[in-house]
């Protein structure tokens, strides 16, 4: 049995950790011996009921979980402390349990993983998840001429040159990596594995939601990368096309901001339903939606992004309206005829895009097309199979 150390800086008590780490590991654990290090935020850790539930799920799956506390302030020192704690624990686990592969989810875990490779000789899988360093710049957190950017880019170079295998989320990201000067002739073995969804959980529900109105749905965060003002304006335009339309927003912790931005766009309060639900209850809310919407800043770093919500929307049979310049989304939505891509956010483009979206949503064949596209591009089983293949290759080399 393959012996893996998986390191995630995202917590398993968060929805992201549950959908994009645990969902994979539960299946992988049937053929691999897995130790999991994660960094849990205090508020999540203090939710005793959820903590107990997730802990039991992890134990039942046969995964050995080693949760550490996530520290945020002061940022650089807190992250350095987390890296130190994770590295020390990782060294002990590798030696004590004879682990052979360290799977690092994104950049901060890769600092730990690369140290483990140098000290213990384990194989190192760099699961990039995106261009994290450039995301910090594109998100306005760092400057491109700043010290943190230069240092982090140097780490990125070491990660890529030292990795025994690299996983990217999109073909666009892999193409961009091929243009890095220092990787010419030195590119490590690479695989594209987009953010997948459990399509037994995210699947179409027979019949339509209650009511005759058109329900536009939004799922997840509205901050940093998401152009929620444009979403709000787009829904205001939809109300002009469909006076009985409503906006169903499923979000965690940003309700005040959402209400403020919708009000600024002239959206009446009675047309909006704002909810917080558990990850397990998201599909039942998606079943109420005729279509989904989300816009992401089309900056350089987003070429490497594959939004989880896209897989979940399509899995539930919900066509989407989104924008160009983000990963492989245009290829999926327009290519599979399961959504609409906007190239600009002017009024004429929004209206034309909404009209096409409505046509898709009312077409009785669209839900099946969406589910089929999700199976083709975002099946969790296919994603897990690709990871299993990588693990076997690393073990045999």
Residues of the chain with pLDDT > 70, as a percent, come to 98
CA distances from 236 to 233, 260, 345, 357 (A): 5, 14, 13, 15
| Per-residue pLDDT, 211 | 54
Answer whether residue 52 shows pLDDT above 70.
yes
So what's the pLDDT on residue 223?
Answer: 83
Tens of pLDDT along 344-354?
999 999 999 99
Residue range 275-287: average pLDDT?
Answer: 91
Residue 208 pLDDT > 70: no
**In the 3-class helix/strand/coil scheme, how is the chain assigned residue by residue?**
CEEEEEEECCCCCCHHHHHHHHHHHHHHCCCEEEEEEEEECHHHHCCHHHHHHHHHHHHHCCCEEEEEECCCCCHHHHHHHHHHHHHHHHHHHHHHHCCCEEEEECHHHHHHHHHHHHHHCCEEEEECCCCHHHHHHHCCCCCCCCHHHHHHHHHHHHHHHHCCEEEECCHHHHHHHCCCHHHCCCCCCEEECCCCECCCCCCCCCCCCCCCCCEEEEECCCCCCECHHHHHHHHHHHHHHCCCCEEEEECCCCHHHHHHHHHHCCCCHHHEEEECCCHHHHHHHHCCCCEEECCECCCHHHHHCCCHHHHHHHHCCCCEEEECCCCCHHHHHHHCCCEEEECCCCHHHHHHHHHHHHHHHHCCCHHHHHHHHHHHHHEHHHHHHHHHHHHHHHHHC
Residue 206 — pLDDT band, cuts 50, 70, 90? low
- Structure confidence at residue 82 (pLDDT): 97
pLDDT in tens, 112-159: 999 999 999 999 999 999 999 999 999 888 999 999 999 999 999 999
Contacts of 76 (CB under 8 A, 6+ apart): 148
* Average pLDDT for 295-309: 93
pTM of the entire structure?
0.89
**The pLDDT of residue 155:** 96
Percent of residues, the chain, with pLDDT higher than 90: 91
Distance between CA atoms of residues 243 and 146, nearest Å = 49
pLDDT over 60 at 182, yes or no: yes
Nearest to 134 by CA among 147, 152, 161: 152
The whole-number pLDDT of residue 371 equals 97
Structure confidence at residue 95 as a pLDDT band (50, 70, 90): very high
> Of 236, 17, 42, 227, which Cα lies nearest the Cα of 106?
17
pLDDT digits (tens, 9 = 90+) for 312-332: 999 999 999 999 999 999 999
Contact 45, 39 (CB under 8 A): no
Lowest mean pLDDT among 2-6, 16-20, 164-168: 16-20
pLDDT at 202 over 80: yes
Answer whether residue 23 shows pLDDT above 90. Answer: yes
Instruction: Decide if pLDDT at 380 tops 90.
Output: yes
Mean pLDDT, the chain, integer: 94
pLDDT confidence of residue 225: 87
Residue 19 pLDDT: 86
Condensed to tens digits (0 to 9), the pLDDT of residues 212-268 reads: 689 999 999 998 889 999 999 999 999 999 999 999 999 988 999 999 999 999 999
């Amino acid at each position: 049995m393959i012996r893996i150390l998986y390191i995630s800086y995202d917590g398993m008590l968060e929805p992201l950790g549950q959908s994009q780490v645990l969902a994979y590991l539960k299946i992988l654990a049937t053929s691999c011996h897995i130790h999991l290090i994660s960094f849990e935020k205090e508020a999540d850790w203090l939710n005793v009921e959820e903590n107990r539930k997730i802990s039991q799920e992890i134990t039942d799956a046969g995964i050995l979980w080693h949760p550490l506390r996530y520290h945020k302030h002061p940022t650089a020192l807190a992250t350095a402390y987390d890296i130190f704690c994770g590295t020390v624990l990782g060294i002990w686990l590798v030696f004590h349990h004879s682990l052979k592969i360290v799977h690092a989810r994104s950049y901060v875990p890769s600092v730990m993983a690369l140290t483990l490779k140098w000290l213990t000789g384990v194989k190192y899988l760099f699961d990039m998840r995106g261009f994290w360093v450039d995301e910090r710049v594109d998100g306005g957190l760092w400057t491109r001429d700043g010290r943190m950017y230069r240092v982090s880019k140097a780490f990125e170079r070491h990660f890529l040159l030292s990795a025994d295998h690299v996983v990217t989320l999109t073909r666009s990201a892999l193409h961009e990596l091929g243009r890095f000067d220092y990787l010419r002739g030195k590119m490590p073995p690479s695989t594209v594995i987009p953010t997948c969804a459990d399509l037994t959980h995210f699947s179409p529900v027979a019949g339509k939601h209650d009511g005759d109105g058109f329900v536009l749905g939004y799922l997840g965060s509205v901050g940093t990368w998401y152009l929620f003002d444009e979403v709000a304006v787009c829904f205001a335009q939809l109300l002009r096309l469909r006076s009985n339309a409503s906006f169903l927003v499923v979000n965690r912790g940003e309700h005040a901001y959402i209400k403020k931005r919708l009000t600024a766009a002239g959206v009446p309060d009675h047309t909006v339903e704002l909810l917080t639900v558990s990850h397990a209850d998201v599909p039942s809310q998606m079943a109420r939606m005729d279509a989904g919407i989300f816009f992401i800043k089309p900056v350089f770093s987003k070429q490497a992004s594959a939004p989880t919500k896209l897989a979940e929307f399509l899995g539930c049979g919900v066509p989407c309206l989104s924008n160009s310049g983000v990963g492989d989304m245009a290829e999926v939505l327009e290519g599979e005829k399961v959504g609409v891509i906007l190239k600009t956010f002017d009024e004429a483009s929004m209206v034309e895009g909404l009209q096409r979206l409505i046509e898709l949503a009312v077409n009785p064949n669209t839900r099946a097309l969406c589910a089929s596209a999700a199976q083709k591009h975002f099946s969790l089983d296919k994603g897990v199979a690709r990871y299993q293949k990588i693990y076997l290759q690393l073990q045999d080399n």
